[in-house]
Amino acid sequence: MALLIKKSCINCDMCEPECPNQAITMGAEIYEINPNLCTECVGHYDQPTCMKVCPIDNTIIHDPEHKESNEQLWDKFVLIHHADKL
Ligand code: SF4
Ligand code: SF4
């Protein structure tokens, strides 16, 4: 499941540099997560690192519109980082 940044984001810039997939970018008003690039940090960390660094509770949440199994997240990780070896 990709993650989602809610309107409570204060644009503190903490999460963007931490994302191993460059899935986080500044949007029109707040930071946004590209669901095609977010793997919940599968392949890199045990937990979503953006959630860990965000200082505002419940601002980064699981996006109910983008439900994915662990297997799908691993497939996405391979496509993003190892597509040249497939
Ligand atoms: S969960 Fe990981 S991959 Fe997804 S946006 Fe956050 S830091 Fe990036
Ligand atoms: S860490 Fe949280 S508050 Fe800071 S920019 Fe990212 S989502 Fe917004």
Q: What is the pLDDT of residues 38-76, one digit of tens each?
A: 999 999 999 999 999 999 999 999 999 999 999 999 999
CA of 85 to the centre of ligand 1 (A): 23
Among 36, 37, 40, 70, which is best to mutate for testing ligand 1, by the most ligand atoms less than 8 A from CB?
Answer: 40
CA of 41 to the centre of ligand 1 (A): 5
- pLDDT of 84 higher than 80: no
The tally of domains found in the chain comes to 1
Q: Which residue in the block uniquely carries the two structure tokens 């809610």?
A: 6
CATH number, domain with residue 73:
3.30.70.20
**4, exposed or middle or buried, with CB in 10 Å at 0-12, 13-18, 19+?**
middle
**14, exposed or middle or buried, with CB in 10 Å at 0-12, 13-18, 19+?**
middle
Structural contact between residues 34 and 23, judged by C-beta atoms closer than 8 angstroms = yes
- pLDDT of 1 higher than 80: no
| Domain coverage including residue 8 | 3-85
pTM reported for the whole predicted model: 0.94
CA of 13 to the centre of ligand 1 (A): 14
